[in-house]
Amino acid sequence: MMGRPVPETGSPQIREHFIYSYRLIYEIRGETNYILGVIHGRRLLESIDGRFDAG
């Protein structure tokens, strides 16, 4: 829970942590964290639409 919720997803379980110029995006499921992506800070999440759909 170190990072903040990703505004683009609207899900409190999907969070991000900024590391230099990158966004580390992860999902919290129980006691396990899953890394969903490491994205350069200038890249828009809209260009990778659909990657955060539940599944």
Chain segment 3-54, per-residue pLDDT in tens:
899 888 888 999 999 988 898 999 999 999 999 989 887 666 555 555 556 5
Residue 34: what pLDDT?
Answer: 94
What pLDDT does 9 receive?
A: 86
Task: Compute the distance between CA of residue 29 and CA of residue 12 in angstroms, rounded to an integer.
Answer: 11
CB 21 within 8 A of CB 39: no
- Give residue 7's pLDDT: 85
Phi, psi of 53 (to 5 degrees): -65, 140
The reported pLDDT for the residue numbered 32 is 93
pLDDT at res. 39? 85
